[in-house]
Structure 1
């Protein structure tokens, strides 16, 4: 652990510069920066109700965990919950939920003095950390104080596991201490579970697997929001590129250019994973010679073939307007984003080869032809053209996707083994 602390100390000037950059760009306010260091954090009286600390990285993780949070509130009417997040947008999203007995703030930096102050003030009964949020100082300090650490929906890609293994010679003791601080862990899938066991997680600390994202139901967009857009899109000939990352948009643009040779009426809705990349994506569109309008500027689609949907919180709109959905994060080695959301809205699903984040779901889809894997622009264009030419086939794919994903959705978040672990904790027995 000492080497990790020294490493963090050496990197602290870079962290400071990164935070300063966020401030100078207007993405965070000065009080947001200080919140990461525990500012404006009053100490809770010991007489207060038990507090469960739930941490998730950003919007996707917290959206997936909302049902977990609501279940905890329902089970324990006296429980308080503190949600911590890594991004300002996720904090804003959780605040808009207006859940009773739930507070949200930016997560403390993984520096020991910051964490000591945070833990002393908050006095959590336990930490539930979501997916791949595994922090050495946070976990080991909680263990030292006898505060349980539960990881829900733990995800570890092959790439991450390989990096951890390669750094064993340097950070081996830190990794072992961090993994050793985990009280219980529910992996997202079998592969993640095996990788964590190989990295030293004792098998008796495993809980039944849970994928938080299988329980997410996205709220449909209102008719008021849809009405101004519907006249510009024909669902059978609209392709949505959802949650794309750097390196993927260029492939999508090339595919769309090929697609328009056979389907000149085709439309593309491009929704980058990080809307802050809107300017960069717009520059790529200009370089590709594609005419576009831009959601973040209040533009309507009009006659431009591409609509750049560079806003947050509007994915339901695009799922409802597009009959075909290419799922981003899958053409580059990022593990792919969830297929559950577009499948919910009856989209025909297309994806790249990198789908390790939801491998069981994609295997189930591909097994019965409920999704199409594409590896390059030509394959994406051909698949989209085939489905646009045969809307009945696209509809069958969407129907089959529901069938393929149903068994995975059936493994609902309310797993008694997970809740029983929390209920066994002295300060959280109201969750029983």
Structure 2
């Protein structure tokens, strides 16, 4: 085949480059040097986010199966190695690199996290009768439209998949329309929700009732949030605001915005009083603390057109969720939360009134937070059944 001949030519050129001082990453992807040890299951995730989301499933599989985890980045490889699991860079989709890798590993099952479609990998696994599975599979509308123009490539790859658990119903429908066999569709499981669903939220209380968190805010959002908060605080003076900015290096800039409004500037980065009426949380790695303290969360990245940030972490802490109109990254998630009465869309004109309503009638906010957690738990699902099916495939009895 022309494709195979071209792939072998490209591989030969890359190997020559790697042998003459090429980067270690390229050498590993070409299979130059030590090959991996055999493993029952080969799990592949593109990068840190994919593998981190699948950690619970991966570690469950590792309880009674030997695993090799691959990724496309050194950071993800090193992260998985830190979990105590075998990890390396994935082979390129080139004949000799892939054949040498599979000869060494001899997996009984290959699992891909979220979605990568490599024609040669798919074909070679099928030739060796190695079942292929995909977990947390995603297929956006744009990607589906692009793949629909290449049916001779995507359809055979999807038809070779023995088991696929989609992240959401929309992705599942798109994958089925592109060629996934209906018999391969497993119950849906959103891997990114497994971690949040394991969080134990704090109890409701008066302090949470009056604390508002603006989480992961961006330029252009802080001034609106401050003005509307101060308007509501005039009626409810016990209200406090935690302003957790997305990028801590904007701390001085946001501090100046606060100072301009004539209120004290308290900054977490300086060790200032954390219980003041307005706290600028300009540090990294402490968002869980702020979620735990607040009963109401304004999700950043949604008042300006940034696509919005995840609602599921504040939902895990039973926060009432408020967001702006720009949530294109999580359209389905916010729609489900709004339908459940867990979230409300706000803007600069309605935010002050909404804050006053929720602080003035705290049971409303508490009920929203409980509804948010219920939606999270129902969508996260239980990975036990999925893990059992993957084990069965690896053992040849599923």
The 1-side partners of 2:336 and 2:120 are apart by 38
Gap regions ≥5 residues in structure 1: 14-29, 222-232, 273-277
Q: Secondary structure at the match of 2:179?
A: coil
Structure 1 residues 414 and 372: alpha-carbon distance in aligned structure 2, compared to 1, 3 A threshold: same
Q: Secondary structure at the match of 1:213?
A: helix
The 1-side partners of 2:131 and 2:98 are apart by 15
The 1-side partners of 2:221 and 2:364 are apart by 22
Q: Does residue 206 of structure 2 align to residue 213 of structure 1?
A: no
1:300-319 alignment to 2 at 5 Å? Answer: 300=271, 305-311=279-285, 314-319=286-291
Q: Which residue of 1 aligns with 2:164?
A: 185
The 2-side partners of 1:257 and 1:4 are apart by 60
Gap regions ≥5 residues in structure 2: 14-22, 201-206, 234-239, 260-264
The 2-side partners of 1:386 and 1:2 are apart by 67
Pick the structure with greater CA Rg: 2
Q: Does residue 255 of structure 2 align to residue 255 of structure 1?
A: no
Q: Which residue of 1 aligns with 2:245?
A: 270
CA RMSD of aligned residues (A): 4.3
Q: Which residue of 2 aligns with 1:227?
A: none
Q: Which residue of 2 aligns with 1:54?
A: 43
Q: Does residue 155 of structure 2 align to residue 176 of structure 1?
A: yes
Structure 1 residues 103 and 43: alpha-carbon distance in aligned structure 2, compared to 1, 3 A threshold: closer
Q: Which residue of 2 aligns with 1:18?
A: none
The 2-side partners of 1:5 and 1:283 are apart by 55
- Quote how far apart the aligned CAs of 1:103 are: 1.4
Q: Which residue of 1 aligns with 2:114?
A: 131
Q: Which residue of 1 aligns with 2:80?
A: 94
Structure 1 residues 148 and 268: alpha-carbon distance in aligned structure 2, compared to 1, 3 A threshold: same
The 2-side partners of 1:382 and 1:89 are apart by 45
- Quote how far apart the aligned CAs of 1:178 are: 2.9
Normalised TM-score (structure 1): 0.68
1:1-400 alignment to 2 at 5 Å? Answer: 31=24, 34-38=27-31, 41-44=34-37, 50-74=39-63, 76=64, 79-98=65-84, 102-165=85-148, 168=149, 171-217=150-196, 236-242=210-216, 249-262=218-231, 266-271=241-246, 282=250, 285=253, 289=257, 300=271, 305-311=279-285, 314-327=286-299, 338-351=310-323, 352=325, 354=327, 359=332, 362-374=334-346, 376-378=347-349, 383-384=354-355, 386-388=357-359, 390-400=361-371
Q: Which residue of 2 aligns with 1:414?
A: 384
Q: Secondary structure at the match of 2:183?
A: helix
Q: Secondary structure at the match of 2:61?
A: helix
Q: Secondary structure at the match of 2:104?
A: helix
The 2-side partners of 1:327 and 1:284 are apart by 21
The 2-side partners of 1:180 and 1:130 are apart by 17
- Quote how far apart the aligned CAs of 1:339 are: 3.5
Structure 1 residues 345 and 180: alpha-carbon distance in aligned structure 2, compared to 1, 3 A threshold: same
